[in-house]
Amino acid sequence: MKKLNLLLVALLLIVSCKEKTTKEDIETKREPNSFAIVIHGGAGGIKREYFTEEQQEAYAQKLQEAIDAGYAVLEKGGISLDAVQAAINVMEDSPLFNAGKGAVYNSEGNQEMDAAIMDGKTLNAGAIAGVNHIKNPILAARIVMDSSSHVLLSGKGAEIMAKSFGIEMVDSSYFFTEKRMNQLKKIQGKEKTELDHTAFLIKNELIDDHKYGTVGAVAMDKTGNIAAGTSTGGMTNKKYGRVGDVPIIGAGTYANNLTCGISATGTGEFFIRTVASHEVSSLIKYKNFTPAEALNDVLFNQIGPLGGEGGMILLDKNGDVYWDFNSTGMFRAYKKSDGTSKVEMFEKTE
């Protein structure tokens, strides 16, 4: 009996050591001084047939410009927070995306923009909501993080603080785009034009009311620190005062060096209700999910069944890039210090 017990103990030790070795073997490590950045420009009903070749090229070029701007910061030894900011600034300044210059209109015919940024090392975060005079909302979110004891400021209070720190303010007319106004009129029934849903084209302009054009970025700098940021105009025809998932830390934006950094895009109410970004991080940390498994579970098993649609980008603690979406497409790109890079817009290719 004693021999049998000893044999069982020995077998358990062998199995335990084998499992430990296997786990260590499959866990990758970040290469010294390696860095990476991944971005998105929105998800939703994004299909190749909805875009002219000129439109596809315009989006591809702007995504490339944004990823290059963030990468340049990292390449020079800059911090991940600055890289995230640089990439998002490019997309906020472009009318192609639903952030900054291209922000959509609420039910009152005004823009109300939200943004957030988070440091994965300290878990410090800053966010703003419901602003309409800040040219680059992500810069104001950074001010809240760096220069206040708060996480989230909204409306007039956020704008007063941003202005006091020299953030560029603009008249609300700066954010006007005819495309976004047409979207609002169409949704509110003020436009009688019949829309061909196989093309989504009116006057050769993409009427992308089935695209969530929120922009976001996640970066890892040479020190291994992760940062995540997101900026959005919200939903077309949203109620005055509505706040989505973007400025809610843990919902649309999250960064933690122990796991990953995430930026989300989609129907924000469902990302809030599932605390989506933090849930992905928790599945990795506590359930030992791979990043790919965690993204898939949250998007398809939690958000999807509720009726939510969208996508997320992720950069893990090893500097590896992941993305997933339960919509037909997502504007996305990444660039890594090992020389690999990619820009994609439509169906998944990997």
* 52: number of Cβ within 10 Å: 13
- Report how far residue 344's alpha carbon sits from residue 350's, in angstroms, rounded to the nearest whole number: 11
Residue 193 is among the residues annotated as catalytic for this protein: no
The verdict on whether residue 268 carries a ligand-binding annotation is yes
What DSSP string runs through 125-171? Answer: EEEEEEESSBS-HHHHHHHHHHHSS-SEEEHHHHHHHHHHTT--B--
Q: Token digits for 152?
A: 């989230």
- Report how far residue 101's alpha carbon sits from residue 93's, in angstroms, rounded to the nearest whole number: 5
- Report how far residue 244's alpha carbon sits from residue 103's, in angstroms, rounded to the nearest whole number: 14
Which residue among the candidates 122, 198, 214, 230 is catalytic per the annotation? 214
The verdict on whether residue 267 carries a ligand-binding annotation is yes
- Report how far residue 229's alpha carbon sits from residue 86's, in angstroms, rounded to the nearest whole number: 10
Contacts of 263 (CB under 8 A, 6+ apart): 40, 216, 217, 218, 228, 229, 230, 252, 253, 277, 312, 313
Interior CA angle at 319 toward 318 and 322, to 5°?
105
The verdict on whether residue 265 carries a ligand-binding annotation is yes
The distance from CA 136 to its chain's CA centroid, rounded to whole angstroms, is 16
The verdict on whether residue 229 carries a ligand-binding annotation is no
The verdict on whether residue 177 carries a ligand-binding annotation is no
The verdict on whether residue 244 carries a ligand-binding annotation is yes
The verdict on whether residue 245 carries a ligand-binding annotation is yes
Residue list for the binding site for substrate? 242-245, 265-268
Binding site, annotated residues: 242-245, 265-268
Active site residues: 214
